[in-house]
Amino acid sequence: MSIPESVQLGRNTVIEKDVVIGENVVVGHNTVILEGTHIGDDVTIGSNCVLGIKPGGSQRMRKSTEKKSQLVIESGTRMGHLVSIYSGTHISQNVFIGDQASIREKVAVGEESVIGRSAVVELNSTIGKACTIQTLAYITGDTTLEDHVFIGPCVSMSNDKYMGAKDYNLQGAYMKEGAKIGNNASILPGVNIGRDSIVGAGSVVTKDTDDYTVVVGVPAKEK
Amino acid sequence: MSIPESVQLGRNTVIEKDVVIGENVVVGHNTVILEGTHIGDDVTIGSNCVLGIKPGGSQRMRKSTEKKSQLVIESGTRMGHLVSIYSGTHISQNVFIGDQASIREKVAVGEESVIGRSAVVELNSTIGKACTIQTLAYITGDTTLEDHVFIGPCVSMSNDKYMGAKDYNLQGAYMKEGAKIGNNASILPGVNIGRDSIVGAGSVVTKDTDDYTVVVGVPAKEK
Amino acid sequence: MSIPESVQLGRNTVIEKDVVIGENVVVGHNTVILEGTHIGDDVTIGSNCVLGIKPGGSQRMRKSTEKKSQLVIESGTRMGHLVSIYSGTHISQNVFIGDQASIREKVAVGEESVIGRSAVVELNSTIGKACTIQTLAYITGDTTLEDHVFIGPCVSMSNDKYMGAKDYNLQGAYMKEGAKIGNNASILPGVNIGRDSIVGAGSVVTKDTDDYTVVVGVPAKEK
């Protein structure tokens, strides 16, 4: 464990072994940083967070974890309170993560992106640079957002067409650069959203949308 | 208080009196287990959870609580981090409870069921065996799910037809065996969902659906 | 710091400097009360909460904070567990705040109102007296609710018409006295909801509604 003198640790923090913390990091009270987590310089972490969670939820499985499955948080990133993030995820520089957000394993979050408060990002998802995922939005597993994508509050996605009834290759959405999804829209499994396309608030998107289009309604149609 | 030697307690845990913990249980850091909670063998609990909360939210009311209103978590159940569960609730064997989920009092969760991350289950609800409640789904009070029901991500329910304006006997939904609800669907108070029926993503279900049917749209109609 | 003898503090609580706590207050385990927070008499606070968070998320910015930006919680208010509330917010008497709720800075919550579990209230919003905001509902920034407004579970709002694409004066909704919003409805930026008006569950409200009307559907129309 390597904690520089410039680090400001809150009270009752738990820092497990093999955690690496950079210069000028601030860690809030009661925050738990689990084994192997890497935190860059100038990162700010709130209180009561749990970082570096091993998938499977069992601390008994921890020993078999490979080195590459660490949680890495790059420099300049700031996060709020009561946040949970899994190991095997990579958070780039200058990301902002809101209070009570949750990010699973094998997720990559690009520079300058925002993960809103109480938002959830499921496993195997890729978030590009300068994306905005707003409050309470849900990014299902196996989703890809290119750069500058905007996900409004309470947007919902799913990746299982048969809802557990059949074997199915889970498919998240793919959203091209600059796509914008209005609040509380529902995105179905495997849907592609076109470049700079807009999905209206409350729409239900059941099929791919073209680049530079606007779709609205239930089911969503081009406007 | 009875804690076997095989139990692995995290740091800064708070275990109140009359808590019973089985063999080979793992409890994460900073987790609070309140008075009277019973935890079976081989249960795994994450960090920063609060378990056994007394309804009413006041610790001053605790002394009047009857014995039958304990939180019971049966063997083999695993839960994530930042979870809150009330007393008077019964979690059966081999249940999985995701991070940041919240379960109120007088709830029964059947064996092998999954309560997704950030999902909320309100009071007086019954969840059958092998049900799946996905991320950020909302199970209102007085809801019944039979076995093998699938609730997609961000599904919403309500149990108060008059939204607080009149005296009303609160009625949750009743979902028969194998029902499947698509992501972000809205289910109105007292609606019955038929056996093996499917509700499309983003639908608004205003009346009962028949067995073995598919309904979609706003309001939802048979397809 | 001033903590009367009648206060019941949980274990591992962190009370920062310049916190004022009234008589007969109960604070749960592992709860963090940050610098300058004022808590009235007979307030009950659950475990693992974080109260008085400074906007910006950085503890390094704390010193420049003005006195008027304290979190004030008035007497008789009760809150659950894992709650986060920012400084610069005023919670009136006898408010109830559910588990895992989150309230940002510069929010005013009127007497006897309820903020449901896992609900999120964004900055600069005003909640009147005796309002009910149900579970997982989302109150966007710059929203005003007059008195006796009812927000159903999972209701969604947004305040940015152009979703980050243009400079825009962010506009939340304005809801007049007694308005009732059904579960999972979507409210667009700047919409006014009329006095005692009702919005059906799952509706998408794109324009103002008149007083004493009922609107339903996507987009919502008068019934």
Whether residue B62 is predicted with pLDDT greater than 50 in this model: the reply is no
Q: Which amino acid is at C14?
A: V
* pLDDT score for C162: 84
**Last-in-domain residue among A116, A151, A174:** A116
Shared domain for C14 and C94, answered yes or no, is yes
Using an 8 Å CB-CB cutoff, list chain B residues near A79: none
Residues C84 and C157 in one domain: no
Residues B125 and B108 reside in one and the same domain = no
pLDDT reported for residue C60: 33
Please tell me the predicted confidence (pLDDT) of residue C30.
Answer: 96
Say whether both C94 and C124 belong to one domain: no
At B68, the pLDDT band (50, 70, 90 cuts) reads low
User: Of the candidates C46, C69, C98, which is a domain's last residue?
Assistant: C98
Decide: A107 and A84 in contact? Cβ < 8 Å: no
CATH no. for residue B28?
A: 2.160.10.10
Asked, for residue C109, whether it belongs to a domain, the answer is no
pLDDT tens, position by position, C110-150 = 999 999 999 999 999 999 999 999 999 999 999 999 999 99
Q: What's the whole-number mean pLDDT along residues A51-63? A: 64
pLDDT at B58: 36
Kindly list the residues of chain A whose beta carbon comes within 8 Å of any beta carbon in chain B.
12, 14, 30, 32, 48, 50, 53, 57-60, 82, 84, 100, 102, 118, 120, 122, 136, 138, 140, 154, 156-158, 163-165, 184, 186, 188, 202-204, 206, 218
Same domain, B60 and B126: no
Q: What's the mean pLDDT in A207-215?
A: 97
> Which of B86, B112, B138 represents a domain boundary (last residue)?
B112
Q: What was the pLDDT predicted at A164?
A: 83
My answer on whether B129 and B107 are in the same domain is no
- The first and second tokens of residue B126, run together, are 């019954």
Total tally of structural domains belonging to chain A: 2
Flag whether C184 is in a domain: yes
Region A209-213 average pLDDT: 97
Among A52-66, A168-182, C44-58, name the one with the lowest average pLDDT. Answer: A52-66
Q: Are residues B68 and B6 in the same domain?
A: yes
In this complex, the chains that touch B, judged by 3 or more CB pairs closer than 8 A, are: A, C
pLDDT digits (tens, 9 = 90+) for C98-111: 999 999 999 999 99
Do C162 and C92 fall into the same domain? no
Closest CA of chain B from A196, distance in Å: 23
Residues of C in contact with A30 (CB under 8 A): 12, 14, 30, 32, 48
State yes or no: pLDDT of A59 exceeds 50: no
Complex ipTM above 0.85? yes
Q: Is the pLDDT of residue C63 over 50?
A: no
Average pLDDT over residues C6-20: 96
A175: which 2 tokens? 């959203």
- Please indicate, yes or no, whether residues C125 and C190 belong to a single structural domain of this protein: yes
Q: Give the mean pLDDT of C218-222.
A: 96
Res C164: pLDDT? 83
State the pLDDT at residue A57. 45
**Which whole number is the average pLDDT over C150-173?**
90
Average pLDDT, chain C: 93
Going from the C-alpha of C67 to that of each of A5, A7, C35, C55, C72, the distances in angstroms are 30, 27, 11, 14, 11
| A12 → closest Cβ in B12, B28, B44 | B12
Minimum mean pLDDT among A63-72, B96-105, B126-135, C166-175: which range? A63-72
Q: What is the 3-state secondary structure (H, E, C) of chain C?
A: CECCCCCEECCCCEECCCCEECCCCEECCCCEECCCCEECCCCEECCCCEEEECCCCCHHHHHHCCHHHCCEECCCCEECCCCEEECCCEECCCCEECCCCEECCCCEECCCCEECCCCEECCCCEECCCCEECCCCEECCCCEECCCCEECCCCEECCCCCCCCCCCCCCCCEECCCCEECCCCEECCCCEECCCCEECCCCEECCCCCCCCEEECCCCEEC
Q: Locate A44 and state its tokens.
A: 């700010």
Residues B2 and B104 in one domain: yes
Whether C52 is covered by a domain: the verdict is yes
**pLDDT of C62:** 38
Mean pLDDT over the full length of chain A: 93
- Which residue among C30, C84, C102 sits closest to A30, beta carbon to beta carbon? C30
Q: Within 13 Å, how many C-alpha atoms sit on residue B102's CB side?
A: 27
With CB atoms and an 8 Å threshold, state whether B136 touches A156: yes
Chain C nearest-CA distance from A67, in A, is 30
The reply to whether B201 and B130 lie within a common domain is yes
Q: Does one domain contain both A43 and A100? A: yes
Q: Is residue C7 part of a domain?
A: yes
User: Which pLDDT value is given to residue A191?
Assistant: 97
Domain that holds residue A98: 1-116
With an 8 Å Cβ cutoff, are B165 and C150 in contact?
A: yes
